[in-house]
Amino acid sequence: MNATADTTTLTVDGLRVRLLHVRPAGIENPAKVLVLHGWGASVDAVGSIVAGLRDTVELVAFDLPGMGESQMVPAAWGNRDYAAFTIRLADAVGFDRFALVGHSRGAAVSLVLASDPATSGRVERMVLTGAAGIKPRRPASYYMKVGSAKAGRVIGAVGGKPGKSLQQKIRGKAASADWLAAPEELRGTLRNVLADDLSPLLPQVDAPTLLIWGPDDDSTPLWMGEQMEREIPGAALIVLRSGGHFAYAERAGEFNVIASHFLTQGGRR
């Protein structure tokens, strides 16, 4: 028998989200897993994870608010807002305790959930890949770009139509690809999550944690995974043979075998 998969919409706290719920066949009381995608992505981006785990665990993947086909966030959110929303979505789908599989920004949200005493007891274990949340090491040129972007905002605010035009030119040169791709109403959220250094939370993570990294990741470099391994109690880091920030898809076979074994060990240590 094959796993059953239902794609639907669910309203949580007044926000409509797209949700994929997969139930394996022939497994009694399967492990429950929430899959959280990265910034600007959607359920589709974690399709290889869903395909690799669908026959061994019950999983729910959803478009984070403001992304994919889910409704826009009502204000500028941060990592903790996304974490709080995730808990309420877990309640709505009947996941009392669950494991987390998080990529990039979804991994940062997972770190918040697993380190907060109010929610950590619900997280049985975590698989994090290309995890965001640690402040990057920036060259001087980066801070010059940040200064230009701030100047552009001031010019745009006070310079009328010519100022707006100049602001767009400055933004095009200084802003990141994520910033340029984000809709205007989501840029405050992007600013918040990028400014939030989650490093102090790492020693507080209270769940067995497996880190899976691509050696060629230039968005969340391997040194970030190594820092997480050092500072998250009992964490283990596996570096795949190749792959970048989306190594979970580039090396899907390896990733899914490793993740499935870890996720089905059951319960906490």
For the chain, domain boundaries: 4-135+197-263, 140-184
AA letter at 62: F
Task: Check whether 238 has a pLDDT greater than 90.
Answer: yes
Share of the chain above pLDDT 70, in %: 84
Point out the least confidently predicted range of 68-77, 87-96, 117-126, 258-267: 258-267
pLDDT at 225 over 50: yes
pLDDT-derived band at 257 (thresholds 50, 70, 90) equals very high
**Residues 135-151: tens digit of each pLDDT:** 998 655 443 444 444 44
- pLDDT for 73 beyond 70: yes
| pLDDT score recorded for residue 63 | 98
- Torsion, Cα 259 264 267 269, to 10 degrees, reads -60
Q: How far apart are CA 269 and CA 266, in angstroms?
A: 9
Assign 101 a pLDDT band (cuts: 50, 70, 90).
very high
pLDDT recorded at residue 155: 43
Instruction: Give the pLDDT of residue 111.
Output: 98
Residue 95 has pLDDT above 90, yes or no: yes
When the pLDDT of each residue in the chain is averaged and rounded to a whole number, the result is 89
Q: What is the mean pLDDT of residues 106-110?
A: 98
For the whole model, what pTM was predicted?
0.86
Mean pLDDT of 60-81: 98
Between residues 105 and 1, which one has the greater pLDDT? 105
What is the model's pLDDT at position 137? 80
Fold classified for 4-135+197-263? Rossmann fold (3.40.50)
- Pair 125, 34: CB distance under 8 Å: no
The mean pLDDT of 193-217, rounded to a whole number, is 97
Structure tokens at 148: 């230009």
